[in-house]
Amino acid sequence: MLSREIRDTFFAFFGERGHIRVPSSPLIPSDPTLLLANAGMNQFKPYFLGEAVPDSPRAMTVQKCARTSDIDNVGRTTRHATFFEMLGNFSFGDYFKAEAIAWAWELFTEGYGLDPERLWITVYLDDDESARIWRSIGVPAERIHRLGVEDNYWSMGVPGPCGPSSELCYDRGPAFGAEGGPAVNDERYVELWNLVFMEKLRGEGPAKKDYAVLGDLQKKNIDTGLGLDRLAAILQGVDTVCQTDLLAPTLEATQELAGRRFPGHDGSPESVSFQVVTEHARSIAFLIADGVLPSNEGRGYILRRLMRRVVRHARLLGIDRPVLAEVTASVVGNLGEDWPELTTQSSLIEQVVSAEEETFNRTLRQGTRLLEAAIERARDTGSSSLSGDTAFELHDTYGFPVDLTTEAAGAAGLEVDQERFTALLEEQQRRAKQSGKERTGAALARLEAYRHVAARFGSSEFVGYDTTTAESTIAALIVGGDLVEHADEGQEVEVVLHQTPFYAESGGQVGDAGVIRSRDGALVEVRDTRAGVVGLTVHKGRVTSGTVRIGEEVRAEVDPDRRTAVARSHSATHVLHAMLRRTLGDHARQQGSLVAPGRLRFDFAHFSALDQDRIDDISTLINEAILDEPEVRVWHTSRAEAEAAGAMALFGEKYGDVVRVVDIGDFSRELCGGTHVDNAAAIGPVHILSESSIGSSLRRIEALTGRDALRHFDRERMLLNELTGLLGVGRDAAVDTLTKRLSSLADAEKKFAEMRRRELEGIAERLAGRARASGGGWLVVSRVDEVERDELRTVAASVLQRRGASEGVVVLATEAEGKAALTVAMGNRLAENGTNARDLLTRAAAMIGGGAGGRGTTASAGGRQVEHLDEALRAAREEAEARLGSL
């Protein structure tokens, strides 16, 4: 049965039983505690926790899952992949154990036709109820195993739902090892389907034992996970997940690249490498399609690590050309119909993997050489380990990943001294911190001061969404990193207020500027506002008159024009983001931004440059959307609700339980803490200044907004006025006039060139007439200052031609603008005789302070010592005469 039929059968079966089909969530989960989606239930977590209410109490999915925790199992076991598809049926407070168990059995034995005799069941130690249900279906007691917390108890978060689980395993027969059931041999009795019965609420306690069960859940839930890859392997009669139809074409591509066949799952290094390349290729393609880009941390690092492993294992297979583009393309080709994001993002995938492979190969070349030498040395000295110092040097100096070092050393039977490596790494980090400390001693002192203030006063309350002024009191003053009681005129100061309308730089939006006034007229001019430590707003500025004191009542006034200009840019950023995604596709997500008064910078994922037409289209979309006066609406909700409502959250950004959502019209919805205009029409014009690349698959747009865009248009208009003024015509006629003038200029230039050509021919004619016999040929040597330097060669060639080329030499010299030039053109006879035209000029070139270049029968020289030009010309003549003499 093909994997597509396996999916369809699953959906048909549970569809008939009242389940609605929910699409897979992306691999990048909205749950901030999770790096990558790793199970079908992830996207339903809010339902299980009772935080949100599902549309239907029964759902079914085929979920994209990534489990890098299984990375080392790939190729070593037959059943582990770093990416796999998980089929699942879910009940949110609806049906429970009896149905879940009976249906799983029915689907397995009737839907997929698995032999009931080969199915084994596991249940949790004391879950008699489940065991009873399995028995009642007809599973004999000896094929029901009871396992402990590690295998058959499941929980999610603290506090969170938990409960026992029950697994369906399939006996693959004696070829896969000893008998005895899943408790004994999990490769032979492979786990296919896990049914989780969530019925309790878990409290604090170690993750895997001593569940402090708080009580029963209000509603009991079902969460199941059936590994498509594993079931496909069984139904297709193949040994490993890499040989199923999900991965067979990729295994094929790998075999082609390697120029040999996969030996089968035999535990050999070669077998492992084949499976790693094949299996990881799919994970890589899916991760990139879902918006992960390679980097040195988090998901980006997972992706990078997968790619690097593929490259390395491809090498181990003897492949010495790029592999990633090809193997990932086979994934797209094979699975692109079932997972359209692969097809839509295929060029992004190709670009990203190609660029990454190229970079990594450079690192690898260097690192591998060093590593091999080190391994050799270790062996020579009879050592069983590779020193931590070597691993560290490779990591630190050459950027060679330590996991690769460990792996390569392992393959050579050596252990890496991890302890030493870690110690060196920590030492280095400590040193880096230390030197940072010394360099930024003042900054640290300041940070200390902030912490102190935060501990004493808590956080500063931001009241600036609706107002730009507020009455407040001074909570703390910092001068030069020290907490002070007062700050005097002329001093640089950092002011902490209990309440403030000043927005502290965050989410790309710059901090506010303005003034803080005391009752008695003292004034602090605030240049910038920052978050000192989390929740603490620090106003940075200078006391420009009087003295400010702790505890004093003040009035804080944000510069309203600047604030408005910033708000325009922030709202414009959201509109731009929406229009980029509408035009380029969903992958064009925000990666970073700067929101400043009157201008913005926006970084987003995209794989190629935007041409001017695209930029114009996007610009028009933005400005027309703004003209419709879309309202900017701000509301608060839970994170889960916000995302269910389609709000865009930025990767890596942390939001609390209550999130702020900013809607613009009906086209933009983002989680955002920034300040915005009330209606997008207030943004005014948005003008895109530039679009450029800032890294692999990363683009940057810079734009002007509001007044700054208007000022830009003004400048452009002035420039145009100047140009039309110069042309002496009205605006409408400008293009026409300029086109005509350019074309008549081109005509004139052509005519002039023709005249000059004739003139030069005249000169050549005259020079040819002055040829003198010399040795076995003839010679023209002349200084021709009426010829430009760049015309010299043409004239020399023309002279040579006029005289019949084969045994002549022409040497010409000219001088202009303080530069001397010489050129030689000579006939074939001399060349045949072993003379190189450049030889004739070597001495002469030195005399004018330059070098000679050229080859064969023509050469030139240039220099600045014009006073030696005649002398140089004589030298060249002597050389020529000598050569002609020997003809």
714 conformational bin, left if phi > 0, alpha if psi -120 to 50, beta if neither:
alpha
Residue nearer to ligand ATP on the CB measure, 42 or 537:
42
The smaller minimum CB distance to ligand ATP, of residues 80 and 639, is found at 80
Residue closer to ligand ATP, measured from CB, 165 or 564: 165
Q: Is 313 annotated as a binding residue?
A: no
CA distances from 406 to 387, 414, 417 (A): 11, 8, 9
Q: Do 581 and 672 meet the contact criterion of CB atoms below 8 Å apart?
A: no
List all residues 6 or more positions away from 380 whose beta carbon is below 8 Å from its beta carbon.
Answer: none
670 binds ligand ATP (CB under 6 A): no
CB of 235 to ligand ATP, least distance (A): 13
Contact assessment for residue 70 and residue 94, using Cβ atoms and an 8 Å cutoff:
no
Segment interacting with ligand ATP, rule: CB under 6 A, options 127-135, 188-196, 737-745, 824-832? 188-196
Determine, following the binding rule CB under 6 A, whether residue 294 of this chain makes contact with ligand ATP. no
Nearest Cα to Cα of residue 240 among 187, 314, 182, 167? 187
Which alpha helices (DSSP H) does 112-169 contain, by range? 128-137, 149-152
| Rg of the chain in Å (alpha carbons) | 38
Nearest-CB residue for ligand ATP: 227
Residue with tokens 């994209």: 64
Q: Decide whether 86 or 659 has the Cβ nearer to ligand ATP.
A: 86
> Binding segment for ligand ATP among 73-81, 589-597, 653-661, 722-730 (CB under 6 A)?
73-81
State how far the Cα of 619 lies from the Cα of 640, in Å rounded to an integer. 33
Supply the minimum distance, in Å, between the C-beta of residue 583 and ligand ATP: 37
Among the residue ranges 219-227, 308-316, 598-606, 675-683, the one whose residues contact ligand ATP (CB under 6 A): 219-227
Instruction: Using the rule CB under 6 A, give the single segment among 75-83, 306-314, 414-422, 854-862 that binds ligand ATP.
Output: 75-83
With tokens 């140009």, the residue in question is 723
CB 327 within 8 A of CB 278: yes
Task: Tell me: does residue 192 bind ligand ATP (CB under 6 A).
Answer: yes
**CB nearer ligand ATP, residue 248 or residue 523:** 248
Among 194, 334, 345, 468, binds ligand ATP (CB under 6 A): 194
Count of beta carbons in the 10 Å neighbourhood of residue 389: 13
Q: How far is the CB of 259 from ligand ATP (least distance, A)?
A: 28
Least distance between ligand ATP and beta carbon 297 (Å): 23
Site pattern 78..117 for ligand ATP (x: CB under 6 A): -xxx--x-x-------------------------------
| Pairwise CA distance, residues 282 & 293, whole Å | 15
Q: Identify which of residues 165 and 472 has a Cβ nearer to ligand ATP in the complex.
A: 165
Q: Total number of residues binding ligand ATP (CB under 6 A)?
A: 17
Q: Does 570 count as an annotated binding residue?
A: yes
Least distance in angstroms from the C-beta of 233 to ligand ATP:
9
Using the rule CB under 6 A, is 265 a contact of ligand ATP? Answer: no
67 binds ligand ATP (CB under 6 A): yes
Measure CA 48 to chain center.
33
What are 553's strand-pairing partners?
Answer: 473
Residue 667 tokens, joined: 């086209």
Q: How far is the CB of 644 from ligand ATP (least distance, A)?
A: 25
Q: How far is CA 64 from CA 29, 36, 209, 528, in A?
A: 11, 10, 29, 45
Q: Could you please report the per-residue DSSP string of 442-468?
A: HHHHHHHHHHHHHHHH-PPEE-TTS-S
Among candidate residues 80, 79, 81, 99, the one with its CA nearest the CA of residue 89: 99
* In the complex, minimum distance from the CB of residue 349 to ligand ATP, in angstroms, rounded to a whole number: 21
3-state DSSP call for residue 308? helix
* Strand order, beta sheet including 808-816: 772-774, 777-783, 808-816, 819-826, 858-863, 851-855
Please identify which residue in 229, 494, 603, 691 interacts with ligand ATP, judged by CB under 6 A. 229
**Using the rule CB under 6 A, which residue among 44, 120, 193, 211 binds ligand ATP?**
193
Q: How far is the CB of 74 from ligand ATP (least distance, A)?
A: 8
The piece of 130-138, 185-193, 255-263, 599-607 that touches ligand ATP (CB under 6 A) is 185-193
57 — phi, psi (to 5°)? Answer: -75, -5
Alpha helix (H) residue ranges in 645-791: 706-727, 731-769
The tokens of 104 are what?
A: 């799983």
Identity of the residue, 244 or 724, whose beta carbon is nearer to ligand ATP in the bound complex: 244
Closest approach, Cβ 641 to ligand ATP, in A, equals: 28
Candidate ranges 226-234, 245-253, 421-429, 541-549; the one touching ligand ATP (CB under 6 A): 226-234
- x-marked contacts with ligand ATP along 547-576 as a string, rule CB under 6 A: ------------------------------
Single out the residue of 230, 282, 699, 789 in contact with ligand ATP (rule: CB under 6 A): 230
> d(Cα 497, Cα 557) in Å, to the nearest integer?
12
Residue 185 or 385: the one with the smaller Cβ distance to ligand ATP is 185
Token representation of residue 319: 């492949």
Shortest CB 229 distance to ligand ATP, Å: 5
The two tokens of residue 685 are 């014009």
- Of the listed pieces 220-228, 263-271, 601-609, 767-775, which binds ligand ATP according to CB under 6 A? 220-228
Nearest residue (CB) to ligand ATP, 187 versus 488: 187
Please tell me whether the peptide bond between 159 and the residue prior to it is cis, using omega within 30 degrees of 0: yes
Site string for ligand ATP, 411-440 (x = CB under 6 A): ------------------------------
Give the interface segment with ligand ATP, choosing from 54-62, 186-194, 486-494, 501-509 (CB under 6 A): 186-194
Compute, in degrees rounded to 10, the torsion defined by CA atoms 37, 43, 47, 52. Answer: 130
Among 94, 127, 191, 807, binds ligand ATP (CB under 6 A): 191
Which part of the chain contacts ligand ATP (CB under 6 A), choosing from 190-198, 251-259, 342-350, 514-522? 190-198
602, 810, 825 from 830: Cα distances, Å: 65, 12, 11
Task: Establish how many alpha carbons lie within 13 A of residue 817's alpha carbon, considering only the half-sphere containing its beta carbon.
Answer: 5
**C-beta of 193 vs 197, nearer to ligand ATP:** 193
Nearer to ligand ATP, 227 or 511 (CB): 227
What contacts 24+ positions apart, CB below 8 Å, involve 290-294?
290/26, 290/27, 290/28, 290/64, 290/341, 291/26, 291/28, 291/587, 291/589, 291/605, 291/651, 292/27, 292/28, 293/352, 293/605, 293/696, 293/697, 293/698, 294/352, 294/356, 294/696
Q: Which of positions 133-172 make contact with ligand ATP (CB under 6 A)?
A: none
Q: Decide: is 70 part of the binding site for ligand ATP (CB under 6 A).
A: yes
Q: Segment near ligand ATP (CB under 6 A), from 227-235, 334-342, 676-684, 689-697?
A: 227-235
Binding mask 581-610 for ligand ATP (x = CB under 6 A): ------------------------------
Closest distance between ligand ATP and the C-beta of residue 164, in Å? 13
CA distances for 203 relative to 165, 426, 613, angstroms: 18, 35, 58
Contact yes or no for 294/348 (Cβ under 8 A): no
Cα separation, 300 vs 28, whole angstroms: 11
User: Which of 227, 598 has the CB closer to ligand ATP?
Assistant: 227
E strand or H helix at 592, and its extent?
strand 590-596
Nearer to ligand ATP, 80 or 282 (CB): 80
Strand partners, 661: 635, 671
188 makes contact with ligand ATP (CB under 6 A) = no
* Footprint of ligand ATP (CB under 6 A): 67, 70, 79-81, 84, 86, 186, 191-194, 225-227, 229-230
Binding residues, by number, are 570, 574, 672, 676
Q: Which residues are annotated as a binding site for Zn(2+)?
A: 570, 574, 672, 676
